Structure 1
Amino acid sequence: MHSDSDFHVLLTNDDGHEAPGIRTMRSVLQREGYRVSTVAPSREKSATGMSTTTRRNLPLSELGGGIWHLDAQPADTVLVALRHLLEDDPPQMVVSGINFGPNLGIGLHASGTVGAATVALLNGVPAIAVSAGMLFEEARQTPRLFPSTHGVLEPAAEFTCQVIESLRRKPETDGRLLPRGIMLNINYPPVPRETIRGVLYPEVSTGHMIELGYRRCDETGHLIPRYHANVDPARPEREEGDVRAHLEGYITVSPVKPSWNPPPAEASNLLRRLDGILKPDS
């Protein structure tokens, strides 16, 4: 599988421009013939969602070869790329990742990886967020090296290229790579390629895979944020949607539509209850 070099991909992430995931993704995209521009945060900016930087200047560094890093949020990198750096050479696709760790369930709302892809989508550019899973037992090891996650970065990048090629071969009837207002969220499980159970296209779960808690640090009252597993990897049947499929060893590809509008039927009863609140009593 080799693409033509005219297809332009903007690559970003939330782990920072030197992270292994984005470096692997760039290498594989280029190997497959894509023209890649990288605009990524200068350092790790995980769990920043779609937040942007507005109250200070944004230091921008050009490394050459179509690579920039920006001292700002992942969402900023996409906006700076689309509205400044690549304004005269816009990308045809934005890939955000590969994130070092899964982005599943309602954790998508906080993810800087997914947030960057969402910003691209809202600016009219097809977008894919890509993440590689972690094994909880490796998170408890010292030092925390996560060999299983490192081991699936290249397969995850290769799979992403297969997805892009499939979208290009079979576009929407209007020629779009993805339907208007929809992006893809890919999660690759942290297991050897030969043990992958397949590819599933699940809905995003309403549960947490990883939950954020807090504990008091000392007498000053400062709190330390702590992530902890909210699932039992040995009991995936207790979960639903993309979380369950990921725990069961499937690659998940979930279409995501970032909209604040509920289906009209679901909102109609609420609106009927609110109707008339500004009308004078009869």
Structure 2
Amino acid sequence: MKFLLSNDDGYFAPGLTALAEALSALGEVVVVAPERDRSGASNSLTLDRPLSLRRAASGFHYVNGTPTDCVHLAVTGFMPDSPPDLVVSGINHGANMGDDTIYSGTVAAATEAFLLGIPAIALSLAGRPPTHFATAARVAVDLVERYRAQPWRGALLLNVNVPDVPYAELKGMRVTRLGRRHKAEPVIPASNPRGETIYWIGPPGAVQDNGEDTDFWAVAEGYVAVTPLQIDLTAYRQLQFVTEWLQG
């Protein structure tokens, strides 16, 4: 089995190293990740300059671009004649739940694989700072072994969040939906050395929807949250309203 690994924390991130070490026991591992931390890059592609692909001493490959760039370049340019069987993005340093998935570079890398027709998993460790990377890596192995025993019918995109606890303390896995947050906190003003006002993006808002079927609830209760994602953003319930609005 051939794996393509990426992330948004950079090729030097310990979560990526833990993931590569764990999955190397199950097949061939190719790593193509950003050269620096690109957290929050979402699904952005670099279109205003060329990209470069370099190989680090670790054997990992790194790109001067976004997580989406990494997967797109790897699948369509670096390994087009031998595509991966599965793309795994992570292990992210922190959770990617609810609305966070819209901004997440970790989820974006997996999404790009899915759009290219390759099954993908985005894997995040819900700790700040994260500690138990071995737990998340073992969850990745569990999921891959399940996949090998019972392959998915067509490409599937899973968002997986792992509680930051020892593996033995996990209560199991729950299939969940995305929860919701309140709106983000306001930006934080500051001054640069020239006395000009600059702004830091504030922290995410508090959790608003954390019902028992959500990823927020599952992780808080000690379960691995497994959320299948889709890309179709069409608001189907609004189609009739907009049609009538335009006609009226």
What is the TM-score of this pair, normalised by structure 2?
0.90
Indicate the residue corresponding to 2:197 in structure 1.
221
Indicate the residue corresponding to 1:270 in structure 2.
241
| Aligned equivalents of 1:258, 1:75: Cα separation in 2 | 15
Q: Cα 1:193–1:229, aligned 2, differ >3 Å: closer, same or farther?
A: farther
Deviations 1:61-96 (A, max 9, x none): 123775210010000000110111111211111000
Indicate the residue corresponding to 2:38 in structure 1.
45
Deviations 1:160-188 (A, max 9, x none): 1111121221124xxx3xx44x3001100
Other structure's SS at 1:97 match: strand
| Aligned equivalents of 2:51, 2:91: Cα separation in 1 | 24
Indicate the residue corresponding to 2:11 in structure 1.
17
Kindly provide the amino acid, as one letter, of the partner of residue 224 in structure 2.
I
Count of residues in Structure 1 that have an aligned counterpart in Structure 2: 245
8 Å Cα contact 1:113/1:129 also seen in 2: yes
Equivalent position to 2:181, from 179, 195, 207: 207
Give me the identity figure in percent. 31
Equivalent position to 1:105, from 78, 98, 106: 98
8 Å Cα contact 2:135/2:166 also seen in 1: no
8 Å Cα contact 1:36/1:66 also seen in 2: no
Deviations 1:189-236 (A, max 9, x none): 11222322221111111325x94531210352211223256249xxx9
What is the CA-CA distance between 1:130 and the residue it aligns to?
0.1
| Aligned equivalents of 2:207, 2:234: Cα separation in 1 | 29
8 Å Cα contact 2:181/2:207 also seen in 1: no
What is the CA-CA distance between 1:242 and the residue it aligns to?
0.6
Deviations 1:45-76 (A, max 9, x none): 00000001111122321237752100100000
Other structure's SS at 1:159 match: helix
Indicate the residue corresponding to 2:167 in structure 1.
193
Indicate the residue corresponding to 2:218 in structure 1.
245
Q: Cα 1:129–1:238, aligned 2, differ >3 Å: closer, same or farther?
A: closer
What is the CA-CA distance between 1:260 and the residue it aligns to?
1.5
- Unaligned runs of 5+ residues in structure 1 are 1-6, 136-145, 278-282
- Unaligned runs of 5+ residues in structure 2 are none
8 Å Cα contact 1:213/1:228 also seen in 2: no
Indicate the residue corresponding to 1:141 in structure 2.
none
Q: Name which one, 1 or 2, has greater alpha-carbon Rg.
A: 1
Kindly provide the amino acid, as one letter, of the partner of residue 12 in structure 2.
E
Indicate the residue corresponding to 2:206 in structure 1.
230
Kindly provide the amino acid, as one letter, of the partner of residue 112 in structure 1.
G
| Aligned equivalents of 2:210, 2:121: Cα separation in 1 | 27
Q: Verify: 1:28 aligned to 2:26, yes or no.
A: no
What is the TM-score of this pair, normalised by structure 1?
0.80
Q: Verify: 1:154 aligned to 2:134, yes or no.
A: yes
Other structure's SS at 1:246 match: helix
Indicate the residue corresponding to 1:4 in structure 2.
none
